[in-house]
Amino acid sequence: MKIIISGTVDLDPDQMDAAMVAAKPLIEGALTQDGILDYDWCPDPLTPGRLRVFERWESEAALQNHFNNHWYNDMRMALAQFGIRGADVLKYRIELAEPVYDETGTPRADFFTEMSG
């Protein structure tokens, strides 16, 4: 079952540019791991010092391998240098995924196909 990790990490706003420079090679490295679908860490355009985290993993095993990998540990150590002020990051099991738009281009809040995630 696929897993999404989504949330925010708050850093010292004056350190955001340096944090992103330090994080870039770690993000690139994490993207080489088996089972990763997305690994995005981006500055929030509305909240200074806030990083938006979005990750998508093929399985719990892939996520666990990431947690055991040096890319994850190196990222934790790198971010700690930039004044972490808080974090709110959750994981979600994905049981069903569908397009937002139906065949007519209409956005749909309901689940209208049988496409599995």
Question: The domain spanning residue 12 has which CATH number?
Answer: 3.30.70.100
Which stretches in the chain have pLDDT values below 70? Answer: 115-117
Residue 85's pLDDT is 95
Residue 115's pLDDT is 55
Domain membership of residue 24 (yes or no) is: yes
Domain membership of residue 44 (yes or no) is: yes
What is the secondary structure of the chain as a DSSP string?
Answer: -EEEEEEEEE--GGGHHHHHHHHHHHHHHHTTSTTEEEEEEEE-SSSTTEEEEEEEES-HHHHHHHHTSHHHHHHHHHHHTT---EEEEEEEEESB---SB-TTS-B-SS--S--B-
Domain count, the chain: 1
- Enclosing domain of residue 89: 2-94
Residue 112's pLDDT is 85
